[in-house]
């Protein structure tokens, strides 16, 4: 067999409890998903506001397809940039409080594009050790010098920034850490960037739509703004659709349009997605009740979980990780919940550091208090 070596690699992974497999959903994303014949109460999506299957978004998508067709047919710089893409960019810029914005097909591609366009050989990137994989890959591919600092450790970052060096300096961080749910100290990071004349790239994949007034995200939540901040957020999580955007000064956006390879050399996303996203932005802005409900669920979950044998990590966001430690133990706990009709994903290395396998519980405004009670009861039963 020409692939025996690949098979051995997979077998090894399985041995370590690390093999990844997909579950096939029979219908839309929702707190109640159907896998095979069975319905599960699920706590694993990033659909924080419950918009992924919202009838207004579905209608906007249909209407967008009727008006603009199914596919964009070309890259943005060729002939794929439609009026509705452009309109969405303008609204995203205004919503994020920035002069300009640029749409990318995915968050992964946005991060690749930004790093590659803004830094290179001779420049230095300063990165939190728990940043998302897309930021990690992006900084390595950028060929800049990489300096990683301990998670949220401002003191270490200050030391690294103070070291002599030439070239551009770019600090990159998740705003809400995707596997831990905690927030980066954004005001302190910005102050350090001011002091050392560095740029600050903030990845707000899990804050956009959820945090801040009108769901404007982590910058609004922290009350910070600066031309130094390059703001990136994704549109497939709270926004319920797909894609990502970068919002920044016009000169930064123009640089991305000219140099970000993951922007230039790829087909524009279907315009209908932009139609749906325009609708989503409205629902986000008017979503105070959804966000308030989500906060109540977070409080309910945290107060019900703190007596369990597993460590509930400190998080005030919709991402509530329950630290189990060992890979197999995390998998077994996830499996035991599944037997009770509840689906919570076990997150294992390399997504998280060795020895910190966890259940990543995510809440959505589409959950009810009863849903959370069911999860709490099951976990208390399993703790016995």
Q: Which residues bind ligand PLP (CB under 6 A)?
A: 106-108, 111, 132, 134, 174, 178, 203, 205-206, 234, 236, 244
Structure tokens of 19?
């093999």
Distance CA 85, CA 100 (A): 13
Nearest approach, Cβ of residue 323 and ligand PLP (Å): 19
Residue 360 φ then ψ, to 5°: -100, 100
Would you say 183 or 379 has its CB closer to ligand PLP? Answer: 183
Would you say 169 or 206 has its CB closer to ligand PLP? Answer: 206
Residue 27 neighbours by CB under 8 Å, 6+ apart: 33, 34
Would you say 80 or 107 has its CB closer to ligand PLP? Answer: 107
Nearest approach, Cβ of residue 94 and ligand PLP (Å): 21
Burial grade of 323 (CB within 10 A; 0-12, 13-18, 19 or more)? middle
Find out whether 383 and 333 touch, Cβ atoms under 8 Å.
no
**Residue 45: which H helix or E strand, with range?**
none
Nearest approach, Cβ of residue 106 and ligand PLP (Å): 3
Nearest approach, Cβ of residue 104 and ligand PLP (Å): 8
Find out whether 356 and 282 touch, Cβ atoms under 8 Å.
no
Would you say 44 or 378 has its CB closer to ligand PLP? Answer: 44
Residue nearest to ligand PLP (CB): 107
Would you say 93 or 244 has its CB closer to ligand PLP? Answer: 244
**Token pair 């900084």: residue:** 139
Distance CA 110, CA 114 (A): 6
Nearest approach, Cβ of residue 12 and ligand PLP (Å): 27
């Amino acid at each position: 067999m020409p692939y025996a070596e690949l098979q051995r690699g997979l077998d090894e992974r399985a041995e370590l409890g690390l093999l990844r497999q997909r579950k096939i959903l029979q219908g839309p994303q929702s707190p109640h998903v159907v896998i095979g014949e069975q319905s599960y109460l699920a706590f694993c999506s990033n659909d924080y506001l419950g918009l992924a299957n919202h009838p207004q978004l579905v209608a906007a998508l249909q209407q967008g397809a009727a008006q603009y067709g199914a596919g964009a047919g070309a890259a943005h710089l060729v002939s794929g940039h439609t009026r509705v893409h452009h309109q969405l960019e303008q609204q995203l810029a205004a919503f994020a409080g920035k002069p300009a914005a640029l749409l990318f097909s995915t968050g992964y591609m946005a991060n690749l594009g930004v790093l590659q366009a803004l830094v290179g050989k001779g420049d230095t990137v300063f990165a939190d050790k728990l940043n998302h994989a897309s930021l990690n890959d992006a900084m390595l591919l950028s060929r800049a010098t990489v300096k990683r600092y301990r998670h949220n450790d401002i003191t270490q970052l200050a030391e690294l920034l103070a070291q002599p060096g030439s070239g551009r300096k770019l600090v990159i961080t998740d705003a809400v850490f995707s596997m831990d749910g905690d927030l980066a100290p954004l005001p302190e990071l910005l102050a350090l960037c001011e002091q050392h004349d560095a740029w600050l790239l903030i990845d707000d994949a899990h804050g956009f739509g959820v945090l801040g007034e009108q769901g404007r995200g982590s910058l609004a939540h922290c009350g910070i703004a600066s031309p130094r901040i390059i703001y990136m957020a994704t549109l497939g999580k709270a926004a319920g659709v797909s894609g990502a955007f970068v919002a920044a000064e016009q000169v930064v956006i123009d640089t991305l349009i000219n140099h970000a390879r993951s922007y230039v050399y790829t087909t524009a996303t279907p315009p209908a997605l932009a139609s749906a996203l325009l609708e989503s932005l409205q629902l986000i802005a008017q979503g105070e009740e959804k966000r308030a409900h989500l906060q109540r669920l977070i409080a309910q979950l945290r107060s019900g979980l703190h007596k369990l044998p597993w460590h509930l990590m400190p998080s005030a966001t919709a991402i509530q990780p329950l630290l189990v430690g060992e890979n197999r133990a995390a998998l077994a706990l996830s499996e035991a919940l599944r037997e009770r009709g509840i689906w919570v994903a076990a997150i294992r290395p390399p997504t998280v550091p060795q020895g910190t396998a966890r259940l990543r519980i995510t809440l959505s405004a589409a959950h009810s208090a009863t849903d959370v009670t069911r999860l709490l009861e099951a976990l208390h039963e399993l703790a016995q």
